[in-house]
Amino acid sequence: MKLMKQIWDKARKDKKKIVLAEGEEERNLKASEKIVKNNIADVIIVGNKDVIKEKAKKLNVDLTGVEMVDPDTSEKLEAYSNEFYELRKKKGVTLEKANKIVRDPLYFATMMVKLGDADGLVSGSIHTTGDLLRPGLQVIKTAPGTSVVSSIFMMEVPNCEYGDEGFLLFSDCAVNPNPNTEQLAAIAVSTAETAKNLCGMDPKIAMLSFSTKGSAQHENVDKVREATKLAKQMNPDLKIDGELQLDAALVKEVANLKAPGSEVAGNANVLIFPELQAGNIGYKLVQRFAKAEAIGPICQGFAKPINDLSRGCSSDDIVNVVAVTAVQAQSIK
Ligand code: ACO
């Protein structure tokens, strides 16, 4: 992906410190070596140092320049426990419980980001999306002005005339099972920012539905229509339209028939799905049938960047997600 080279270059210009919570896992070790050798970010890996060194030796991975942190022996454990307790005591967490929870590498790495010992976190090669997101949602919380954490996929579709010559963003395909009107609007607004800041796009956002401009009546259609209005109120500069069916969003001829006069219909390069089942199925359909490259899920809306990996990821995928996370960290004030 051409964009990924630009993201690597951007990451190198203002190097950030990214923590990999699954530091004992082989692909993470291989990725750490590549990230450091390619000067993309400073890397911290979390895990038992003896286990890490043993595995690295077996894999012939050079971890020179990679920082290792073991929660059980870290001098930061007490500070992280105290902070976690303060953050979660209203939810019934005791200090004793906090001390136990932050020894979990995912929570430990999240606390590193929270307290500024790392600029961003990447994990998920051996954990589910929910396992990774929950500590982030509880501790890092949302960025100012955003109420919802969501995600995007960068889709690069070969030999495709839709979007920006086959490049599109899809959202939300990984986080919010059933967003309400406000959440759907917030997802659209966040995705527009990601499109501009991370991908250098001029976002044209289609709010997808099974209806185009009133062709069908249903409460699910109303939700998309209302969310479109709300997103426009939240950011009047957005190029956004909805509700649109997928063909009206992408295909000029269909757009001319179903949504004439729309600046988005027929030109959309950002697709917002109405709920997670549609989004998750949608990106996988394009990935498999069109042999598209799908990079993500990239999280958006966190106060500091946290990103998920697919459990089927390669070490190269981890390098790319770390580069994306580093670039996201550059825009955190
Ligand atoms: N944005 C902001 N805050 C949120 C969000 C969100 N999207 N979702 C939950 N929260 C907050 C809650 O308000 C809560 O805050 P609090 O504890 O301070 O009050 C905290 O996060 C935890 O909320 P829970 O309700 O305990 O968390 P939940 O069990 O709902 O889990 C999660 C949230 C993990 C995001 C869940 O919605 C989920 O599992 N989503 C689907 C993930 C998934 O499986 N995706 C598909 C696979 S990914 C792929 O195929 C690439």
> Do residues 327 and 15 make contact, with C-beta atoms less than 8 angstroms apart?
no
Helix (H) or strand (E) holding 170: strand 167-171
Ligand 1 atom 38: the closest Cα is on which residue? 130
Q: Which residue, judged by its Cα, is nearest atom 40 of ligand 1?
A: 175
CA 181 to chain CA centroid, Å, is 21
- 333: tokens are 């004030």
Architecture of domain 150-289: 3-Layer(aba) Sandwich (3.40)
Is residue 130 lining ligand 1, measured as CB closer than 6 Å?
Answer: yes
Mean pLDDT, residues 163-187: 97
Contact (Cβ atoms closer than 8 angstroms) between residue 167 and residue 203: no
Fold assignment, 2-141+303-330:
Rossmann fold (3.40.50)
pLDDT tens digits along 252-283: 999 999 999 999 999 999 999 999 999 999 99
134 lines ligand 1 (CB under 6 A): yes
Q: Quick one: pLDDT band at residue 83, thresholds 50, 70, 90?
A: very high
The minimum-distance atom of ligand 1 relative to the CA of 147 is: 2
Backbone dihedral region of 200: left (phi > 0), alpha (psi from -120 to 50 degrees) or beta? left
- The pLDDT-based confidence of 312 (bands split at 50, 70, 90) is confident
Residue 78 pLDDT more than 90?
yes
| Domain definitions of the chain by residue range | 2-141+303-330, 150-289
What mean pLDDT comes out for the span 167-191?
Answer: 97
Contacts 24+ apart (CB under 8 A), 95-100: none
Task: For residue 133, give the ligand 1 atom closest to its CA.
Answer: 34
pLDDT band at 185 (very low <50, low <70, confident <90, very high): very high
- Ligand 1: nearest atom to the Cα of 149: 1
How many Å apart are CA 146 and CA 152, to the nearest integer?
15
Give the pLDDT band of residue 333 (cuts 50, 70, 90). confident
Give distance in angstroms: CA of 292 to centre of ligand 1: 27
pLDDT at 68: 97
Can you tell me whether residue 151 is helix, strand or coil?
strand
Phi/psi of residue 48, nearest 5 degrees: -75, 125
CA 70 to chain centre: 26
**Alpha-carbon gap, residue 51 to 53, rounded angstroms:** 6
Closest atom of ligand 1 relative to the 280 alpha carbon: 50
**Angle between helix 219-234 and helix 181-197 axes, rounded to 10 deg:** 50
CA distances from 85 to 79, 99, 132, 173 (A): 10, 8, 19, 32
| Average pLDDT estimate for 292-321 | 93
Pocket test for ligand 1, best of 84, 137, 155, 313 (most atoms within 8 A of CB): 137
* Ligand 1 neighbour 138 (Cβ under 6 A): yes
The pLDDT of residue 2 is above 90: no
Judged on CB neighbours under 10 Å (0-12, 13-18, 19+), 333 is exposed
The ligand 1 atom nearest the CA atom of 137: 21
Q: Tell me the best of 86, 93, 114, 133 to mutate to test the pocket of ligand 1, counting ligand atoms within 8 Å of each CB and taking the most.
A: 133
Q: Is the CB of 181 under 6 A from ligand 1?
A: no
Spacing, Cα 187 to ligand 1 middle (Å): 14
CB-based contact 120:329 (threshold 8 Å): yes
- Residue given tokens 């549609």 in the structure block: 278
Asked if 2-141+303-330 and 150-289 have one fold, the answer is: yes
Whether the per-residue pLDDT at 52 is higher than 90: the answer is yes
Ligand 1 binding pocket includes 158 (Cβ within 6 Å):
no
